[in-house]
Structure 1
């Protein structure tokens, strides 16, 4: 497998010179033998005069990045994209477009060094010294570009699409640490106390923390099973000894704590899912951000405790065969070594055999996220595969087999409406955005569970700003807790965040 670390500089930078000793340190590291290094160049300057060339907008640079990746780097199986300053915004804009169009990529992770996710106060000064500098205009705090980009990032759950690392420099006079590593951005955040905006990407030696962050990110991705896709995850309840022992020590698994569900409202659909799951496979469809994955995860936990989650996002555009192959690969990785492949078996038989292995391991259900259905032809092929799996599983596995739960924005329509065995095995459940009154209740539940005091006027302003989905609030709570924040800190930070949302 060919792996690449691809560097993308920021405003006023240059391809290789901006990155100091990164290339020589990476190529000299014995742990990274075979890994290749490349640098991208993008036109940018910290100021512009009347006679200077027009500064391309960040969205235009994102299009150029997409072209570079598609035309010059397709030969690589896995790419770690390392960005600095404005280059990180270019990468984020590229990723949001990718997810909206449901396009697969060989980029498996992104490192953001000193990226002004919430803008740069220095840009406010520089933009006054330049003539119609589009990039500086977009880099100013609360610019229309940043507002739109940040909303898309959260609504599309970009942080869940692939691993990301945020690195802030404590002495950065260009990009404040709070802008380089805001809580809502997701991923893992690091702050380097001794670094400024330039030195944060110029490691002195192999012991430099900036170098170690990139090295460790590359090593982590090298151990991933599928480039550009989240690893399979399992949710295992505490106290379920048999299931816990079955997956103990498997790095593909993580543990879900039921107390985390205190931040979510229980809706009628939760009861429906929990009742049907032991009896049927489920296809849960609805708009992005309406809570499909959360509801399905809770239902699986309540019904079976142990369950596995896989993502098919990277198989978009590869047809039903590619999606089924991705499903097989990820489930096999989770129950490794899994059943032996027997002569004459087709892909459906192999999937059913893997489901039987999951049952033996104590896994009761599999959540299949990001089901790729970009067009009617691919959707029809995937629906046919699901029907075939359900029929053969029913024929081969009497009793209560491992249940499959698909979450997708796509309504399967008549695909499972018949009177045959496949249709009887799959139930289609629609979901919708949360009503404003439920989001209001959610915010108050968060307030009570964390012993916070939320002003009613703040909650009302938040509801007016986004009456559909609690995802932003949910991500804020989760990220804050992951960073080790205290309740007293959260009280102040939550108030500031909610007030900011309402502006």
Structure 2
């Protein structure tokens, strides 16, 4: 593992292989900004049909169980994980998360910072459907790629309820932000299917395989993934945002965010906007403050705290964040803990 402490787990799709990630792995491996990252390709058996009659192709449930063991073992040493999937790989990741929360293992998911899905057939794929049905009749994976598959829809509902819209870590829930992308020229998984019902969805250039194979650091898939990786681990990925040597260490971003998430109404976009607005007024005019709005509460809070970190007067900005929260929610236990955490670094 070396000096890396963020594991980026790569999950390929149907009729593909872990080698499909090589262009992305080369770009990440040669990027000095991402020296804290190890890429961890997860491989599983897939194809149109099993050539050897003594073998069969596994279904999504079986692959999800294999992914669970991969995360426990190969990815076990990493403090934090980011999962990137392509196509059917997104269904595998969702099935894993849904099975974990159903088994009461929500707390075991807390080291996953984010899930990124590229061209995932959340609503199925209709490409060559009339041919696929008779030709691939025994293929368990192909069945779940069909439109309106109930098991896929059930899994998606569970993930949205227990992961995407979750507010706290419990046995049955764990809040993890999802970033969902469609390929703008993808005719295998349409943008509507790739978006599904996920709230944070966008489009990247490329066809179905191309969206996951950036060929340069300027490719928008790479710039987008790099941004998300840096967001997942800002302290390691943004050395330019570390505090100057005359200040004591800036509190861990995720420690601050974890406490802030527990404060009532922090999941309300209007409340978070009020926090930013009051911080802006308090820090103006000599050193104003801005933070881009993010739909997922954790993303937005990470953005706010990281904007404090990158502020020209980082200590003052963080104290302003503390003071605004204290004024808005003075009597909450989490507010007191937040004050104590930030107050420890004078």
Give the drift of 1:243. Answer: 6.1
**Pair 1:163-2:177 in alignment:** yes
Specify every segment of 5 or more residues in structure 1 that has no aligned partner in the other structure, as ranges: 257-308, 312-328, 339-353, 366-400, 407-503
**Pair 1:113-2:141 in alignment:** no
**Pair 1:226-2:228 in alignment:** no
- Aligned with 1:54: secondary structure? coil
Structure-1 residue corresponding to 2:17: 14
Give the drift of 1:3. Answer: 1.1
Cα 1:196–1:52 shift into 2, 3 Å: farther
Structure-2 residue corresponding to 1:249: 289
Whole-angstrom CA distance in 2 between matches of 1:54 and 1:219: 40
- Aligned with 1:116: secondary structure? coil
Cα 1:27–1:361 shift into 2, 3 Å: same
Whole-angstrom CA distance in 1 between matches of 2:334 and 2:133: 51
Which shifted more, 18-27 or 112-121? 18-27
Structure-2 residue corresponding to 1:402: 331
| Alignment equivalent of 2:138, drawn from 132, 135, 138 | 132
| Alignment equivalent of 1:145, drawn from 125, 148, 151 | 151
Structure-2 residue corresponding to 1:472: none
Normalized against structure 2, the TM-score is what?
0.68
Cα deviations by residue, 1:328-373 (Å, 9 ceiling, x for unpaired): x9xxx9xx869xxxxxxxxxxxxxxx9xx946764332xxxxxxxx
Cα deviations by residue, 1:152-189 (Å, 9 ceiling, x for unpaired): 1233252652232222112222211111123x212242
Whole-angstrom CA distance in 2 between matches of 1:137 and 1:57: 9
Q: Counterparts of 1:409-428 in structure 2 under 5 Å?
A: none
Cα 1:364–1:144 shift into 2, 3 Å: same
- Aligned with 2:160: secondary structure? helix
Alignment length, in residue pairs?
277
**Do 2:259 and 2:334's aligned partners in 1 also have CA atoms closer than 8 Å?**
no
Structure-2 residue corresponding to 1:206: 217
Normalized against structure 1, the TM-score is what?
0.48
Cα 1:48–1:190 shift into 2, 3 Å: same
Give the drift of 1:150. Answer: 2.1
**Do 1:84 and 1:112's aligned partners in 2 also have CA atoms closer than 8 Å?**
yes
**Do 1:363 and 1:402's aligned partners in 2 also have CA atoms closer than 8 Å?**
no
| Alignment equivalent of 2:28, drawn from 26, 29, 32 | 26
Structure-1 residue corresponding to 2:107: 103
Structure-2 residue corresponding to 1:376: none
Give the drift of 1:232. Answer: 3.8
Whole-angstrom CA distance in 2 between matches of 1:360 and 1:65: 43
Cα 1:144–1:103 shift into 2, 3 Å: same
Structure-1 residue corresponding to 2:187: 173
Q: Counterparts of 1:2-401 in structure 2 under 5 Å?
A: 2-15=5-18, 17-48=19-50, 51=53, 53-100=55-102, 101=104, 102-105=106-109, 106-122=111-127, 124=129, 125-158=131-164, 161-182=175-196, 184-192=197-205, 195-223=206-234, 225-226=253-254, 232=260, 234=266, 235-236=271-272, 245=281, 249=289, 358=322, 362-365=326-329, 401=330
- Aligned with 1:139: secondary structure? coil
Structure-2 residue corresponding to 1:262: none
Cα 1:173–1:246 shift into 2, 3 Å: same
Cα 1:231–1:11 shift into 2, 3 Å: farther
Cα 1:239–1:117 shift into 2, 3 Å: closer
Cα deviations by residue, 1:277-308 (Å, 9 ceiling, x for unpaired): xxxxxxxxxxxxxxxxxxxxxxxxxxxxxxxx
Q: Determine which structure has more spread, i.e. the larger CA radius of gyration.
A: 1
Whole-angstrom CA distance in 2 between matches of 1:96 and 1:246: 43
Specify every segment of 5 or more residues in structure 2 that has no aligned partner in the other structure, as ranges: 167-174, 236-252, 300-304, 336-346
Cα 1:157–1:4 shift into 2, 3 Å: closer
Cα deviations by residue, 1:226-265 (Å, 9 ceiling, x for unpaired): 39x87945525659976664587375x9699xxxxxxxxx
